[in-house]
Amino acid sequence: MSQMVDPTMPPAPPAQPRNGLGTAGFVLGLVGLLFSFVPFVGIIAWPLVILGLIFSIIGIIRARKGAATNKGLAIAGTALSAVGLVVCIIWMAAVGSAAYDYNREMQRLDEQLDQGQPPALPPAGANPPDAEAETRTVLYEVTGSGEALNITYTTDGLASTEQQQNAKLPFSKEIALPREAFQIFSVSAQNAGSGTITCRITVDGKVIKEASSNGQYSVVMCNGDVKDW
């Protein structure tokens, strides 16, 4: 016996597609980005931001095919994961550089001891070298229209970073760094609105890196080291 349908009842709304991968990518990217700024603990952010990037990209693809919703959340997850990945790369470069410098210094001391020479120490009462001659000036710039959701940049030539939220554009930050054997410079920004956002790194008046990105929530990254200077 067929069931009668009441013609006065409104039809059931169609089931909305879901975007679980996009949501998961956003959560992993956000958590990974927060962990990436914590010294040493940031190492565990590697798998989080990589998985966040993969899930978010899949979420965007599914949304474009009409098989999922929350495309904006997946795009935000992609941006967060990308920034977190950059910070993780900066950490790894800094750790590798510190380990290389330490091993080189220990090797130098061992060679001096093998030759019967005491380790070289500065004479007592010696004045430090001229500070201006021993520093380099680094200028970070981010230009565009409106503001950036966030701007992240290294502050010590190694792994320490600072971040500014909802920064008005144009943005600039100048820092002075000692002339170490190896230093890395990095600045990244996420666009808050549409249009083009550009980053630039200038060291002692010389532009060493410049990049641009276009679109809402797009991420632009500039990375360099003393080899580029």
DSSP 82-106: HHHHHHHHHHHHHHHHHHHHHHHHH
d(CA 36, CA 54): 17
* Alpha-carbon span 125 to 152, nearest angstrom: 40
Task: Determine contact, residues 170/117, Cβ cutoff 8 Å.
Answer: no
Q: Is the pTM of this model over 0.85?
A: no
Per-residue pLDDT of the chain (229 residues; tens, 9 = 90+): 455 555 555 555 554 556 677 888 888 888 877 777 665 566 667 788 888 888 888 888 888 888 877 788 888 888 888 888 877 777 676 666 666 666 676 777 667 666 666 555 555 545 454 444 578 899 999 999 888 988 988 888 776 788 888 899 999 999 988 877 667 788 888 888 888 999 999 999 999 999 998 888 888 888 877 665 5
pLDDT digits (tens, 9 = 90+) for 42-89: 666 778 888 888 888 888 888 888 887 778 888 888 888 888 887 777
Cβ pair 170, 141 in contact under 8 A: yes
Say how many CA atoms lie within 13 Å of 19 toward its Cβ: 27
